[in-house]
Amino acid sequence: MVEISSYIIFLAAIYLILNIIAFCAYGFDKAKASMNRWRVTEKTLLILAFFGPFGAYAGMMAFRHKTQKKPFTWAVPLFMLIHIILGVALVYFVL
């Protein structure tokens, strides 16, 4: 039988990977924008932000990318808030 802590570690690792992917996508898109080349679509960046909002926000700040675009200025912080609320609820009700 697998302990519950193994599941938590597994889920935390997946969550970390999702945030790293989001961070890298924002950096990749910024690099492509600087070279006037093919870009990652805004829809894709927002989807990545939904699953990895902290990485997306860090990417926005680190690369100064999409910080003036309306959908990003409200959606990414909203996604972060949703993840914080879900995280607190998970800790409070499950653990």
Which of 49, 84, 51 lies closest to 65, judged by CA?
Answer: 49
Cα separations (Å) of 76 from 23, 50, 91, 93? 12, 7, 23, 25
pLDDT digits (tens, 9 = 90+) for 10-35: 999 999 999 999 999 999 999 999 99
Evaluate if residue 44 carries a pLDDT over 70.
yes
Place of tokens 């599941």: 7
Summary mean pLDDT of the chain? 93
Residue 52: pLDDT band with limits 50, 70, 90: very high
* pLDDT at 94 (0 to 100): 74
Which of 69, 77, 24, 27 lies closest to 50, judged by CA?
Answer: 77
Q: From CA 45, how far away is CA 41, in angstroms rounded? A: 6
